[in-house]
Amino acid sequence: MPETLEKVKKRQSIFGKIQNFFTFGYGTKEDLRELDKNLRDYYWDNLRELRHRWEKIYLDIVESEQGTIVKSLKRIIKTLDRVSSEIQRSDYGYAGLFDRKGSIREARLGQVLNHDKSFGETLDKLKEAINKVQSDVKMKLWDIVQKEVEDVENILQTMETGWREREKLFRSLEV
């Protein structure tokens, strides 16, 4: 049993445990869904803030007439938008008992939540990389900025791929 699922079950009251017994774990699933939604909202807020910072970096570079970097900067903005919208609109839980997509088990929800938590590590790397770009743009170290922009692109590609893996955790192959 994933550690997240164990933590959620330990925090439930006796009433919650009784309710889970009669509703086949519905309460635990609801708790996991809510945790996952809060975590994704946190990621979305962070990515939105990073996008605003990146727009400022973009404007600083355009004003400095560093045309060779501009295409990469635009790609990063598009990727940030795409990843943000995927996070905001992701599935966040289970299908109901009679839902056509089928239900998902508590353990699977725990795995998805752990996956989403590990996404935070990549988000921290992205923040660090954007901080480096921002400081080097201020100091006008254009050769270094070019390399750091490539690093930001690579981190974003890793994030996007990792987030798409999440859907595979949610559903087994459907016919």
Secondary structure percentages of the chain, helix, strand, coil, to 5? 80, 0, 20
Q: Is residue 174 part of a domain?
A: no
Q: What is the pLDDT of residue 97?
A: 45
What does pTM read for this prediction?
A: 0.74
Instruction: Report how many domains make up the chain.
Output: 1
> Phi, psi (5° rounding) for residue 139?
-90, 0
Q: What is the pLDDT of residue 15?
A: 46
- By residue range, what is the domain housing residue 125? 3-168
Question: What is the Cα–Cα distance from 52 to 54, expressed in whole angstroms?
Answer: 5
Q: Is residue 173 part of a domain?
A: no
Q: Is residue 158 part of a domain?
A: yes
Q: Is residue 46 part of a domain?
A: yes
Residue 103: partners with Cβ closer than 8 Å, 6 or more residues away = 94, 95, 96, 97
Q: Is residue 95 part of a domain?
A: yes
pLDDT in tens, the chain (175 residues): 456 555 655 665 554 545 544 444 555 667 677 777 888 899 999 999 999 999 999 999 999 888 888 889 999 999 999 999 988 887 655 444 444 454 556 667 777 777 777 888 999 999 999 999 999 999 999 889 999 999 999 999 999 998 888 777 766 544 4
Question: What is the Cα–Cα distance from 33 to 39, expressed in whole angstroms?
Answer: 10
Q: Is residue 52 part of a domain?
A: yes
Q: Is residue 175 part of a domain?
A: no
Q: Is residue 112 part of a domain?
A: yes
Q: What is the pLDDT of residue 100?
A: 44
Token pair for 73: 């900067």
Q: How far, CA to CA in Å, does 5 sit from each of 85, 114, 145?
A: 27, 9, 43
Q: Sign of the CA dihedral 6, 96, 166, 30?
A: negative
Torsion of CA 163, 130, 58, 148, to 10 degrees: -100
